Structure 1
Amino acid sequence: MKKIIVLLASVFIFQSCDDGDLTLETFNFNNETVQECNDLLYVVNDKEIIILDIPASNFINEATTVGTPRMYTLTSSEQLVYRLYDGSVSSTTICSTIPPATPSTVEEYKAQAGGQIQIITTAIPSVNETTKATSITYTHQIKLINVQFSNGDKIINYEEFLFGNYTSQVNTLSFNFSANNGTQCNANNLYKNNNTQLITFDFPDYLLPTTPGTSSISLDNNNTVTYKMFSGATLTNAEICSPTSPNSPFIIEEEWIATEGTIEIVTTAVTGSNNLPALLYEITFTNIIYRKGNLSFTHDSFDFGEYLTN
């Protein structure tokens, strides 16, 4: 499947005319917007476009370590292409199954093998303070390093060419479990599941209260809250409590762990669904800090909801 990704440039001057003939001196881009269609990423400035075709595996939704970008070495001249058209380029020009008759290509330069693509990935969490839904935006800064373009007769070199930022994905942790009663895998665990997202409270050093009242549990490295986002299949209770979970075809898209914060529990004696005495736990998470690598986000208060013993 053809994958083409476009690179932005930052400071470039364009062209000169000699006796009516166009002479291309350098590419003319100024932090244009990366666009996408059908596995195609591209950047356009009026009549110009730059196209990159490298494996999508280079754009992993995982932040890179500072000072350690991902690097990809170009292996053929077809992987990075510059084109100049005789008219303005639009998404129709790039994305149509059958290319339109116009505009036509005036110039085409292909990058030679050996140049490198540098990718720095960042993940930015953003919390909706009302709903606590938290979006994780993955952005890849793309830069060309020591790339040489050629049209067969002329060569244009770039030691460093700032391509720009490509946003590959935004994952939203919904934190929407309010309608679900809490469930346990064991006596030191509570979780809620909405089929594709899971929040789990593990407290191996504690037991839930056995008498009415108010109590709290402080999170630490042993007593934690974990939030997971899955794809590939629908979560079931059996899958969640399996010691080998997740099993294929489940894919963990996000996993955030909190070891800081407080769990507040209000315990009430009630009559359960079987008309026998039961305990109702109303659980609130306070000042929870979720972390994934060097990233973090905080929820000042989140209503985990209820857990009824029977």
Structure 2
Amino acid sequence: MKRILCLLSLLLIITACDDGDLTVDVIDFSEVPAQKCSAKDVIYKIKGSEMMFIEIPAATFTENETVDGSPITLPINATNKVTYRKYDADVTQLSICPTVPDGTPNVVEQWNATGGTIQITAKAIKSTNATDNSTRITGYTYNIKFVLITFQKPNGPQEYSEFLFGNYNTTVGPLAFGFDDQAEKSNCSVTDNRIFNFSGSEAFVLDTATNFPTLFANEVTSTPRTALIDTTNKLSYKLFNNSITNTYFCAATTPATPVLSQEWVAVEGIAATSGIIEVTTTTLGTGFQHTIHLKRVTLKKGNSTFSLGDDYIFGSFVTNP
């Protein structure tokens, strides 16, 4: 009996000392800031001697918000990789970013993801002007998580139903909006009722279509004339890769250059609330000067939006009777 008890005790000790798990069973990088290698499509997180990194195409991170409930999804495969490593000392980006990574510290443990899905939710980072309540997009936050991810560990697979990688932030150059207060009516033809404001490679275009004669009547206003942005009163901001002039918009076929790089379209207005075009007319010499204010107008590209603020001056132009 004593021999049997000794054997049972020994078996319990062996079982307790070797449960088949890795040295690091629980990994958590959710609170660690993510960085991107400058010359590689690799996003990584470092925590002491641990590193987790994702290899996915940079084009995945489009400058566009995702719709709630519809994240960007990528299958984990030979193109979209997720890897966890444990080193024998604290690690830096030099172990992952250079073409030839540093040889030290040494990798002592590696988990390769063999299946699952990468889900990415994108939200715009905005700055707000407290004076006029305008906003500008300065970057994007990409929240990354893995769903039903399976890691192949040295001694077998381990699966997480959901694993939060965390946030990866990018920055974007703010739109210049270098416009002055001088707008101009299109000179493409007498029936073209577009109004332009140009600034280098930027163009702000207001197309009032059939509403032009009413909105810009040659009469001094006692109270501003108003209209809502809608399918007949369109407003768009266009950014090109080079300087732009009225000639570009007069062409029957869109010119190959300059190249349009961004276009933001105004969201349709709500009566007495938002998206309001306001016109004040005064005399100027023998003509009439029309000053256009945009009240609480929002511009949209894809799923991303920003606000021009409570009162944005589009500009003034002159008509003659």
Distance in 1, matches of 2:154 and 2:161, equals 20
In the TM superposition, what is the alpha-carbon distance from 1:79 to its structure 2 partner? 1.7
Matched, 1:206 2:212: yes
Cα gap change, 1:283/1:78 in structure 2, threshold over 3 Å: closer, same or farther?
Answer: closer
Structure having the higher strand fraction is: 1
Matched, 1:157 2:159: yes
Determine helix, strand or coil for the equivalent of 2:105: coil
Aligned partners of 2:230 and 2:268 also within 8 Å: yes
Aligned partners of 1:173 and 1:197 also within 8 Å: no
Determine helix, strand or coil for the equivalent of 1:60: coil
Cα gap change, 1:51/1:110 in structure 2, threshold over 3 Å: closer, same or farther?
Answer: same
Computing the radius of gyration over CA atoms, which structure comes out larger, 1 or 2?
Answer: 2
**Residues 19-39 of structure 1: CA deviation (Å, up to 9, x unaligned):** xxx823232424211112314
**Paired residue for 1:264?**
278
In the TM superposition, what is the alpha-carbon distance from 1:43 to its structure 2 partner? 1.2
Matched, 1:29 2:29: yes
For residue 59 of structure 2, the aligned residue among 57, 60, 65 is: 57
Determine helix, strand or coil for the equivalent of 1:140: strand
Identify unmatched segments of 5+ residues in structure 2: 1-16, 270-274
For residue 193 of structure 1, the aligned residue among 178, 193, 198 is: 198
Aligned partners of 2:183 and 2:314 also within 8 Å: no
More displaced 10-residue stretch of structure 1: 213-222 or 180-189: 180-189
For residue 86 of structure 1, the aligned residue among 71, 85, 88 is: 88
Structure having the higher helix fraction is: 2
Cα gap change, 1:67/1:236 in structure 2, threshold over 3 Å: closer, same or farther?
Answer: same
In the TM superposition, what is the alpha-carbon distance from 1:297 to its structure 2 partner? 4.5
Matched, 1:287 2:296: yes
Matched, 1:222 2:231: yes
In the TM superposition, what is the alpha-carbon distance from 1:47 to its structure 2 partner? 1.4
Number of aligned residues:
285
Q: CA RMSD in A?
A: 3.2
Determine helix, strand or coil for the equivalent of 1:167: strand
For residue 317 of structure 2, the aligned residue among 298, 302, 307 is: 307
TM-score by length of 2: 0.74
In the TM superposition, what is the alpha-carbon distance from 1:53 to its structure 2 partner? 1.2
Cα gap change, 1:157/1:234 in structure 2, threshold over 3 Å: closer, same or farther?
Answer: farther
More displaced 10-residue stretch of structure 1: 237-246 or 134-143: 237-246
TM-score by length of 1: 0.76
Percentage identity across paired residues of the two chains: 29
Amino acid at match of 1:135: I
In the TM superposition, what is the alpha-carbon distance from 1:160 to its structure 2 partner? 0.8
More displaced 10-residue stretch of structure 1: 299-308 or 211-220: 211-220
For residue 176 of structure 1, the aligned residue among 156, 161, 178 is: 178
Distance in 1, matches of 2:257 and 2:160, equals 44
Identify unmatched segments of 5+ residues in structure 1: 1-16, 272-276
